[in-house]
Amino acid sequence: MAMATHTLVSENARITYPQIVAPDARAIIALDLGTTTGWAMRTADGVITSGAATFKPSRYDGGGMRYLRFRGWLDQLRRYAGRVEAVHFEEVRRHNGVDAAHIYGGFLATLTGWCEHRVIPYQGVPVGTIKKFIAGKGNADKQAVIDAVRARGFSPADDNEADAIAILLWSLEQKGGQ
């Protein structure tokens, strides 16, 4: 195993943690799907980075433009990541409205099709599983998740980024920390 560093860059500080990474390691991507998609990634060299990307359509966009932009963004993320081992995403089973359900479904279809085309394994992680893992309660609110992610040394800008970081940390723990 090779030693790498886990680097977190925020507005206020740059924090680096040592992390053990297998020599054949690949990137892992975690996503909180939505119009504002939270993302977190552990690159093959062990660096964790995160953020949020917005896919809100302009008034001149057709109905499918947000998904075309999302697919293009996934391609950019993959180019940055290199070889991708897996994609994990928040699996939402209940939505606040019909529009939210349709939008989530469009992002999910785009993501799973993108992964299938590139032969990248993907897995949905139930919302309650993520919240219980990161905050200790399966029904934790958004602020509790943000606080729990911050307690682990990250500085998410919003709940979307915090959810993606939580999904990534969950997936790394499932792999045994590799």
- pLDDT (tens digit per residue) in 165-175: 999 999 999 87
* 18 has a pLDDT exceeding 50: no
* 156 has a pLDDT exceeding 50: yes
8 A C-beta contact, residue 134 and residue 169: yes
Residue of 31, 171, 18 whose CA lies nearest to 111: 31
**DSSP β-bridge partners for residue 87:** 29, 122
Distance CA(23)–CA(17), nearest Å, equals 18
* 23 has a pLDDT exceeding 80: no
* 138 has a pLDDT exceeding 80: yes
Distance CA(159)–CA(148), nearest Å, equals 11
Distance CA(3)–CA(5), nearest Å, equals 7
- pLDDT (tens digit per residue) in 51-69: 999 999 999 988 899 999 9
Q: Mark residue 82 as left, alpha or beta (left: phi above 0; alpha: psi -120 to 50; beta: remaining).
A: left
Residue of 125, 130, 126, 162 whose CA lies nearest to 143: 162
Question: Can you list the domains of the chain with their CATH numbers?
Answer: 25-174 (3.30.420.10)
User: Mind spelling out the 3-state secondary structure of the chain?
Assistant: CEEEEEEEECCCCEEEEEEEECCCCCEEEEEECCCEEEEEEECCCCCEEEEEEECCCCCCCCCCHHHHHHHHHHHHHHHHHCCEEEEEEEECCCCCCHHHHHHHHHHHHHHHHHHHHHCCCEEEEEHHHHHHHHHCCCCCCHHHHHHHHHHCCCCCCCHHHHHHHHHHHHHHHHCCCC
* Averaged pLDDT of the chain: 86
* 41 has a pLDDT exceeding 50: yes
pLDDT the model gives residue 4 = 41
- pLDDT (tens digit per residue) in 81-102: 888 999 999 998 776 778 888 8
